[in-house]
Each structure stands twice: as structure tokens, then as C-alpha cells.
Amino acid sequence: MARAFWFRRDLRLQDNIALNRAIEGALQDGDARVFPMYALDASVFENLEGIRQHSLAASLEALDSDLGGTLEVVSAEDLDNLAQKFAAAVAAQGISIVHATRAFDPLGVREQNAIGLALRDHGSFLQLDDSYYVIPPGTVMKDDGSPYRVYTPFFKNWTQLAAARPAVMVQGGDFVKLATAELPKPSKSAPFRVVAGEKYALRTLSRFRKRALDRYDELRDRADLSGTSHLSHALAHGEIHPRTVLAQLSDSPAHTIFRKEIAWREFYADVLWHNPHTLTEYYDPKFARMRYDEGAIADERLKAWQQGRTGFPMVDAGMRQLLQTGWMHNRVRMIVASFLVKDLHLEWQLGAEWFERNLSDFDPASNAHGWQWTAGCGTDASPYFRIFNPISQGQKFDPTGDYVRRYVPELAHIQGAAVHEPWLLIDGLAHGYPAPIVDHSAERQESLARLAELKKP
Ligand SMILES: Cc1cc2nc3c(=O)[nH]c(=O)nc-3n(C[C@H](O)[C@H](O)[C@H](O)COP(=O)(O)OP(=O)(O)OC[C@H]3O[C@@H](n4cnc5c(N)ncnc54)[C@H](O)[C@@H]3O)c2cc1C
């Protein structure tokens, strides 16, 4: 009997264990047909910013092309209707088993529960295998059986287990289109044409190996250089599995640091699996009691941060990079996040929501816990009192000033690292760049005072 495969955040053919199960199952049943499907919540898609709509559409288009034009996108206005429509389409073909990769994040779990139940009601079965990770969340535990709260011991344990080799695609499957539904069309524009898909992801990995992998330990924090892999979009959409990435690494210092970054993604997925509420709530609940700013001035400051008009060049370059490219350098993500929480005294969730709307590599676990880590309310040893100075961070991680000049044209006339303090120059603010909206030293003191309030009984 034919099988169906539900593509989710695993938009690829190679190293896809759940897809292999579908093909093997169909072959064992003496019917090589596999119906590739995708479930799209149309209202969620409509609410995405242009860059995110285009990145998903480009990934699906590439996958459809790799599948010989057989991808069936089932679309409905909300999850319940989507699940019913999906299950009805499967039942209409007499398919009894739908295969998929198991999700571990709260929304992914909700989706697979809804679709699994609807399939059951229609007489079919959802078989879940593998995960978006090298080690499924919930697997790496302390000796006493409890989950890790700190990254370094998690990594030590994870690295012992993370030896799985990439899975080669099982041959002999015959991909067949279920009906004739069209691929989703973005309703909003994107700042550039997004290129995506499995082949592009593999090319990105291979270019990174030649360009920067061997110097990753030295270059990864430099915002003005291209020292990182730019694989985050591909990993977030599952155009490449992290097993495939790890298989390219040796034990050299640079490769080991890169492996550790892949493990951060796995750590945050594990933390979110054990603490699903931390997608939107404080991991350390005491920070929910902190004094945060609200009202008209806070709203204005949030808007200035979102649009890259805070008057702090490194912050503004990062926020404009996000709007122009759908991506931001990791070091700069930390700088802008620290600025929002500790200079503007706004809650981390406001920043995380903005990132979610605009990041083409949006990942629920990495985003929520990247924010909480920087805000000082998350896992690991990143105490709240560690407050990033946006000026010295700029001088250190954009020492040429090229990063700021690339994204902030009003500062293009300033040479070198002087671009990080334009207010010191006679003509620094002459081309429309704003003066700083807050005084960093004063806000730092204010943050520490608010932290002290939390410690009072
Ligand atoms: C506030 C904040 C929000 C973030 N939101 C996201 C998000 O929504 N999606 C996302 O993929 N990453 C997020 N990150 C992590 C990190 O910034 C990006 O993964 C990285 O910048 C992507 O660029 P790259 O692929 O060139 O990374 P590389 O440096 O080449 O790293 C390789 C891969 O390792 C993983 N990785 C690297 N650093 C981290 C990290 N600190 N945490 C988790 N995984 C990591 C990513 O999958 C990345 O693609 C966030 C970080 C912060 C501080």
C-alpha cells in the first residue's frame, strides 16, 4: 500500500530518516508510491513578514522541484480545519500510514497531535521518527535522570552520543502527487529574491568549509567579516540535517568550536522540551517580577530599536541588517538583545516577537532561549548584571567599522572604528543619524538598581 510523507521542518530528501521509513514501508507493502505532503496554516503564513513568507515559499518550491513537482500543500485557515482537510485528503487515497519527523517544540507538538488525531478519526495512522536534531530532545540526561540546566555538562554528555552518520536516501520510491494544490504565494514583498532549498544548503556548507570553517574559532565573532556558516536558515527549515554538518568536522580547535554551536541549538531544544512554558515565559521566574518600562516613551523606544534608530551604531546596524536580510550576526543579536532589556528596560518577549516576525532562520527554541540567555533570566552562567556596552562591543567586534557603514549609510562618511562614536565628531551626525536615545552608563546603573530590588525580601 502507498504511504504519505508529511514534510515539516525537514524540507529535504537526503539524511531524512523519517522519509526513508516511508519509502521502505511503501516498498515492503509492494507499492513504491509515496505521496509527499505539506500542511500550511494559511492564517499563520499570512501574518509572517515578507522575508519569512518568501523564505518558506522558496524552500517549498525547491523541495517541490527536487520531488519532480509532486509536493501537495494542504492549506486551511486554522489548525483544526487544517488537520481535518489533511486527514480527509489522505483518506481519499486509501493511505493508512502517514510518516513524519517528530517535533519537540510546543507548536510542533500541537500540530502533530492535531493531525495525528484527525488521521486516526479517518482510519489512518501517523508514524513519527527521528527529530530535527542529532540527539532527540529529552534524551541527554544527568546521571540522576534529571535534565541539564547548564550547557557545558550537557555538551560533554551530548558529544559522546552524537556519533550518528548521515542517512542516505532509500532508492526505489515513486513520488506521486496527491491532487493539484498550488504552492503558497507570498502576499508581501521581500527586500531581495530568497534562494533556498537542499542543494543550496549543501552548497552553503561546502562554501563555508572552504571560506571560514578552519578559522571559525578566530573569526566567528567578527561582525564585519563573513566568518560564520550562514546555515541557520537551512537548519531552521530542515534543508540540511545537523548530522550532515557534523559529519564534515574534525577534532581541530576551530571545528570543535563550530560543533559546540550546533550543540547550543540542541541544548536549547532540550531545555524547551523540558520547559515548554519558556517559549514565552521566564525560565527564571523571579525576573517576571522585575520592574520593566511601559507606556508612550517605552513604545517609542521599542519602535526606535525595531527600526534601527537608537543612535547606537552597532545596535542600529544589527536591527537594519535584520530588516534588510532576514538574518543578523550572532554577536550582534546579543548586543541588540542586551540593549533592549538592559538599556531600554523592556521585556525580552517584545524583542523575541520582533525577531520571530523577521528572522528567516527563526527557530522557537534558539530564539526564546537566545533571548533569555542574553536577558540574564535563562539557562547557564549569563548573569543579569553582565550588561553589554554597545560602543565597546562595536569597537571590538567591528574594529574596521565596515559592518556599521554597510547598514547605516548616514555614517558612511566616517572612517574606521570612529563610526562607533559619531557624536564625538563635528560632522558625525550631519547626515541624519540620530543622537543616542538613552545614556548607556545611566541605564546600566538603573538596570542594576532594578536587579537589587528583586533581591529584597
Ligand atoms: C537573541 C538571540 C536570538 C536568536 N534567535 C535564533 C533563531 O531564531 N534561530 C536560530 O537559528 N538561531 C538563533 N540565535 C542563535 C544564533 O545567533 C544564530 O544561530 C546564528 O547567528 C546563525 O548564523 P550562522 O548560521 O552563520 O551561525 P554559525 O555560527 O555558523 O553556527 C552554526 C549553527 O549553529 C547553531 N547556532 C549557532 N549559535 C547558536 C546559538 N547561540 N544558539 C543556538 N544555536 C546556535 C545555528 O543553527 C547555526 O546555524 C539567536 C541568538 C540570540 C542571541
Answer whether 206's CB lies under 8 Å from 372's CB: no
Mutate to test the pocket of ligand 1, among 265, 341, 353 (most ligand atoms within 8 A of CB): 265
Q: Which residues of 212-240 are buried (b: 16+ CB within 10 A; e: fewer)?
A: bbbebbebbbbbbbebbbbbbbbbbbbbb
Cell numbers linked to 82: 487544517
Structure letter (DSSP) for residue 280: T
What ligand 1 atom has the least distance to the C-alpha of 336? 1
Beta bridge partners of 175: 34
How many whole angstroms separate alpha carbon 193 and alpha carbon 201? 16
| pLDDT of 157 higher than 90 | yes
Q: pTM value?
A: 0.97
Residues 314 and 447 in one domain: yes
Position 164 scores a pLDDT of 85
Instruction: Kindly report the CATH number assigned to the domain that includes residue 375.
Output: 1.10.579.10
CA of 221 to the centre of ligand 1 (A): 12
Band (pLDDT 50/70/90 cuts) for residue 442 is very high
Ligand 1: list residues with CB < 6 Å: 220, 228-232, 235-236, 261-262, 264-265, 268, 330, 333-334, 337, 355, 359, 361-363, 366-367, 370-371, 374
Position 456 scores a pLDDT of 79
How many whole angstroms separate alpha carbon 167 and alpha carbon 314? 42
Residues 49 and 90 in one domain: yes
Instruction: Kindly report the CATH number assigned to the domain that includes residue 215.
Output: 1.25.40.80
| pLDDT of 334 higher than 80 | yes
Position 182 scores a pLDDT of 84
The protein residue whose alpha carbon is closest to atom 37 in ligand 1 is: 261
pLDDT tens-digit readout, 203-254: 999 999 999 999 999 999 999 999 999 999 999 999 999 999 999 999 999 9
How many whole angstroms separate alpha carbon 152 and alpha carbon 260? 9
Position 181 scores a pLDDT of 77
| pLDDT of 381 higher than 80 | no
What ligand 1 atom has the least distance to the C-alpha of 220? 29
Position 428 scores a pLDDT of 96
Residues 32 and 138 in one domain: no
Residues 152 and 48 in one domain: no
Q: Which of 259-268, 317-326, 448-457 has the lowest mean pLDDT?
A: 448-457
The protein residue whose alpha carbon is closest to atom 40 in ligand 1 is: 264
Instruction: Kindly report the CATH number assigned to the domain that includes residue 60.
Output: 3.40.50.620
The protein residue whose alpha carbon is closest to atom 29 in ligand 1 is: 228
How many whole angstroms separate alpha carbon 181 and alpha carbon 88? 14
pLDDT tens-digit readout, 5-43: 999 999 999 999 999 999 999 999 999 999 999 999 999
The residue among 274, 295, 319 that closes a domain is: 274
Answer whether 332's CB lies under 8 Å from 227's CB: no
Answer whether 320's CB lies under 8 Å from 332's CB: no
How many whole angstroms separate alpha carbon 229 and alpha carbon 220? 9
Position 120 scores a pLDDT of 98
Residues 269 and 302 in one domain: no
Answer whether 297's CB lies under 8 Å from 438's CB: no
The residue among 228, 252, 274 that closes a domain is: 274
Number of folded domains that form the chain: 3
> Is residue 193 situated within a structural domain?
no
| pLDDT of 91 higher than 90 | yes
Band (pLDDT 50/70/90 cuts) for residue 1 is confident
Position 15 scores a pLDDT of 98
Position 455 scores a pLDDT of 83
Tell whether the torsion through CA atoms of 356, 360, 366 and 369 is positive or negative: negative
Position 163 scores a pLDDT of 84
| pLDDT of 351 higher than 80 | yes
Q: Per-residue DSSP letters for 212-265?
A: TGGGHHHHTT-TTS--S---HHHHHHTSS-HHHHHTT--SSHHHHHHHHHHHHH
pLDDT tens-digit readout, 46-74: 999 999 999 999 999 999 999 999 999 99
| pLDDT of 84 higher than 90 | yes
Residues 204 and 297 in one domain: no
> Is residue 182 situated within a structural domain?
no
Position 82 scores a pLDDT of 97
| pLDDT of 112 higher than 90 | yes
Residues 113 and 254 in one domain: no
The residue among 242, 274, 306 that closes a domain is: 274
Position 166 scores a pLDDT of 96
Mutate to test the pocket of ligand 1, among 330, 341, 353, 354 (most ligand atoms within 8 A of CB): 330
Neighbours of 249 (CB within 10 A): 16
- C-alpha pair distances (Å), 163 with each of 36, 244, 409: 29, 11, 47
Residues 143 and 258 in one domain: yes
Residues 423 and 298 in one domain: yes
Residues 329 and 441 in one domain: yes
Answer whether 373's CB lies under 8 Å from 380's CB: yes
Residues 116 and 213 in one domain: no
Residues 146 and 89 in one domain: no
Range of the domain at 384: 285-455
| pLDDT of 180 higher than 80 | no
Calculate the average pLDDT of the chain: 96
| pLDDT of 457 higher than 80 | no
> Is residue 140 situated within a structural domain?
yes
